[in-house]
A and B are shown apart, each in its own frame.
Chain A
Amino acid sequence: MRRILLILVALGLVAAAAGWAVTRPATVSAAELAGLTGEAERGEAVFWAAGCASCHAEEEATGEDRLVLSGGRQFPSEFGTFVAPNISMHPEAGIGDWTFAEFVTALQEGTSPEGRHYYPAFPYASYRLAERRDLADLWAFWQTLPASDVASLPHDVGFPFSIRRAVGVWNLLNLQDEFTVTGDLTEQQQRGRYLAEALAHCAECHTPRDALGGLDRSAWMTGAPNPTGTGTIPALTPDELTWSEGEIAAYLNDGFTPSFDSAGGHMVSVIRNLSMLTEDDRAALAAYLKALPPA
């Protein structure tokens, strides 16, 4: 009897250790990134495509002010309210003292320089698919951005979601290294897929989530409840979004629907980003949406 008990305790310890090990925050080493040098000019295009300013710039900011990534914007969810941190170039208040490896680790592993998990309100599950070359360009552009000394505010997240280590479980369940839409895609559709799935993270709002807040990839871009209010975030699948590719691309530029209604809510901010892309990239996004499997 005593022996069985000992074996059970030992097994329990092994399971706990394994659990602790697999939920450990992952990092990317400087060696993995050796040889990558970024170009700031190319990085600006990545910056707008990735939509950093939508969450990290002040909510009402327009024009140049959207480059001031002082944070503070709140994101209510069923797990609590997340607050976007200061990610400006300020060395203490922001991320100005980060290395490139720390930057990539944050964006692709969701791990902070202190080795803690970020909450997946930060779309590292999408950025994980970004090309490292693009991230090098983005980091080069980042060096040109202004510093803000506004202090980051803590998230308002209750137990048990306040246990950061638990995000490691979420990561095990949700991080993947492949695109969601597969199959025969044209070059333009592939470009659109890269922009939509890796950088612009459209699915974060337009795809429903499971009980743990992971994206339901079997219902990709089929619309979802609006976390900030009543109503729903619309489906983008071609059976639902019946606008032409030209109409979708134009909407992503000027914010007008084909009947000249205008975008509302967070989409306004998204369009401010996407209007900074090239016409070709907006056309690629539209082509990708038309290639989505219907709901």
Chain B
Amino acid sequence: MSIRTSLFSLATLAAIAAGASATAQDLPAPVMARQGQMQAMAINVGIVGNMARGNTEYDAEMAQAAANNLLALSQIDQRFHWPEGTDNFALEGTAALPAIWENPDGFAERYMTFGTAAQGLADVAGNGLDAMRAAVGPLGGSCGGCHDDFRQSN
């Protein structure tokens, strides 16, 4: 390898590294924390959601475990996850709309509906497919009800 090509590769690597760090690693810790929580929610919704859709067989124990996780996730106090200046106009890599900060009471109220729906699911997830399916609907509604106003369309 000539010096010239190795210099070129180094420059390329540096450029790629800079590009990568400009996306994920530059996000403030609270943004990564809330995104991580959303991902944990998605994984657990997926367990019951796939059963509700008929993609996987209903399993009472798995359904209850996922529901319990969702309930626990809904109980995480959110106050440290949404500092000012972390909306999608201020930062690349978040879909959090400024409406969250313009209307904090509305946001809190919407977020609470997730807790209510998670509790409703946890109450019945182990009681059979139909009971679980009936509680997955409101859970999905609570995701949509909040994303409707507070997350950028994707």
Q: A226-B153, A260-B45 are in contact. Are A265 and B140 (CB under 8 A)?
A: no
B136 at the interface (CB under 8 A from A): yes
Contacts of B8 in A (CB 8 A): none
A231 to chain B, nearest CB (A): 5
Q: A226-B153, A259-B42, A264-B152 are in contact. Are A254 and B53 (CB under 8 A)?
A: yes
Q: Chain B interface: which of A112-120, A165-173, A181-189, A267-275?
A: A267-275
A255 at the interface (CB under 8 A from B): yes
Interface residues of A in 63-117 (CB under 8 A from B): none
Contacts of A234 in B (CB 8 A): 154
* Interface band, chain B: 20 to 34
Whether the Cβ atoms of B42 and A231 lie closer than 8 Å is no
| Total contacts A-B at CB 8 Å | 74
Whether the Cβ atoms of B152 and A230 lie closer than 8 Å is yes
Chain A facing B: main interface SS: loop
Cα A49 to Cα B88 with chains together (Å): 32
A265 to chain B, nearest CB (A): 3
A266 at the interface (CB under 8 A from B): yes
Whether the Cβ atoms of B148 and A268 lie closer than 8 Å is yes
Contacts of A278 in B (CB 8 A): none
**One of A226, A233, A255 near B143 (C-beta < 8 A):** A255
Q: A262-B147, A265-B147 are in contact. Are A233 and B141 (CB under 8 A)?
A: no
Cα A245 to Cα B34 with chains together (Å): 31
Contacts of A255 in B (CB 8 A): 140-141, 143-144
A210 to chain B, nearest CB (A): 22
Q: A230-B89, A231-B153 are in contact. Are A268 and B147 (CB under 8 A)?
A: yes
* Interface band, chain A: 20 to 34
Most A CB within 10 A of own CB, among B45, B49, B52, B140: B140
Cα A234 to Cα B89 with chains together (Å): 19
A256 at the interface (CB under 8 A from B): yes
Interface residues of B in 74-101 (CB under 8 A from A): 88-89, 95, 97
Contacts of B28 in A (CB 8 A): none
A177 at the interface (CB under 8 A from B): no
Whether the Cβ atoms of B140 and A264 lie closer than 8 Å is no
B43 to chain A, nearest CB (A): 7
Interface residues of A in 242-295 (CB under 8 A from B): 250, 254-256, 259-269, 271-272
Q: A229-B97, A256-B49 are in contact. Are A265 and B137 (CB under 8 A)?
A: no
Whether the Cβ atoms of B88 and A265 lie closer than 8 Å is no
Cα A228 to Cα B49 with chains together (Å): 30
B46 at the interface (CB under 8 A from A): yes
Contacts of B53 in A (CB 8 A): 250, 254
A62 at the interface (CB under 8 A from B): yes
In order of increasing CB-CB distance, the 6 nearest A-B pairs are A265-B153, A264-B147, A262-B143, A260-B46, A268-B144, A268-B148
Instruction: Show the binding face of B for A, using Cβ within 8 Å.
Output: 38, 42-43, 45-46, 49, 52-53, 88-89, 95, 97, 136-137, 140-141, 143-145, 147-148, 151-154
**Contacts A/B (CB < 8 Å), 18 sampled:** A62-B141, A226-B153, A229-B88, A229-B97, A230-B88, A231-B95, A233-B153, A234-B154, A254-B52, A254-B136, A256-B140, A261-B38, A264-B151, A264-B152, A265-B147, A265-B154, A269-B148, A272-B144
Instruction: Show the binding face of A for B, using Cβ within 8 Å.
Output: 62, 226, 228-231, 233-234, 250, 254-256, 259-269, 271-272
